[in-house]
Amino acid sequence: MREIPVDEVADIVRRLCIEANHELRGDQVDALRRARSREESPIGKEVLDRLLANAEVSARERIAFCQDTGYAVCFLEIGQDVHFTGGSLAAALDRGVAEGYRDGYLRASLVRSPVDRTNTGDNTPAMVHYDLVPGADVRLTLLVKGAGCDNMSALRMLTPAAGVEGMKRFVVETIEAAGPSASPPVTVGIGMGGTFDRAAVLAKKALTREPTGSPSPDPRLAELEAELVDAIDATGIGPAGFGGTVTTLAVHVEAYPTHIAAFPVAINLDCHSHRVRTVTL
């Protein structure tokens, strides 16, 4: 049995909150550069140039890349041979978020509930998803998720008769409905299968794939991802919604077993401020 103090987890979460908000991951910057090389419209090129300049300034000056510093979404893969000591793991995660947002001068964006709009003051609670896995390691992924793009996400309980073609139509319809509101070029996480709730978690976790734009190891899903990139770019929404040839930086699809009568599809959009960090304890 391996013991891990929860204080160590809190310290890591604090650091990740600051790093993710201040500095885009290198592969995300590379994705923006690839988009710049593919973009054909002058205004689209200008938008991408400004995003790249913003990434450079935020990293150098240690300030937030985007004013919406989002939800702190944590995915934990916890080895079943791990025992956390020194207190509550959930409380430590919240403490790490609170300290990170305070010390990084990051906006506190969470309110108590949809009907009680009082700000919680420290961007807690964290939105946490736990998975138990074999071994004695802990893999912690932080996704900083802004509201603009999350608001444009969608879930639909398709039937098997709709098939993959129905799923592709749903994805394109969602992108078209989002338009500029999701702050393109977007990263698209898609969860297929499971139950209503599992599909949504799959879609959000799909956004954390590293590096951005890497294909699924399943060749059928990798082919589907490439088809969806082409279909989304064909909408012509373009960077910041001003029109152009690049609307998405990546499409990541995750699939899971589901019922014989079901075809759940969840689509979680992330804006050009795609902020993810992963560490293994």
What single-letter amino acid sits at 152? M
Q: For residue 224, what pLDDT is reported? A: 98
pLDDT band at residue 33, thresholds of 50, 70 and 90? very high
Rounded mean pLDDT, 215-242: 98
Task: Looking at the chain, list the stretches that DSSP marks H as alpha helix, in order from N- to C-terminal side.
Answer: 6-22, 26-38, 42-61, 89-103, 147-151, 163-178, 196-206, 219-233
Q: For residue 54, what pLDDT is reported? A: 97
- How far is the C-alpha of 144 from the C-alpha of 157, rounded, in Å? 27
pLDDT in tens, 47-90: 999 999 999 999 999 999 999 999 999 999 999 999 999 999 99
pLDDT in tens, 251-271: 999 999 999 999 999 999 999
Rounded mean pLDDT, 7-20: 98
Domains in the chain and their CATH numbers? 2-22+65-145 (no CATH), 147-275 (3.30.1330)
Burial of 197 (0-12, 13-18, 19+ CB in 10 A): exposed
pTM over 0.85? The answer is yes
Lookup: tokens for 72? 């702190």
Q: For residue 56, what pLDDT is reported? A: 97
Q: For residue 213, what pLDDT is reported? A: 95
pLDDT in tens, 135-168: 999 999 999 999 999 999 999 999 999 999 999 9
Q: For residue 281, what pLDDT is reported? A: 93
What average pLDDT does the chain have?
Answer: 97
Residue 230's region, left for phi above 0, alpha for psi from -120 to 50, else beta, is alpha
Rounded mean pLDDT, 120-142: 98
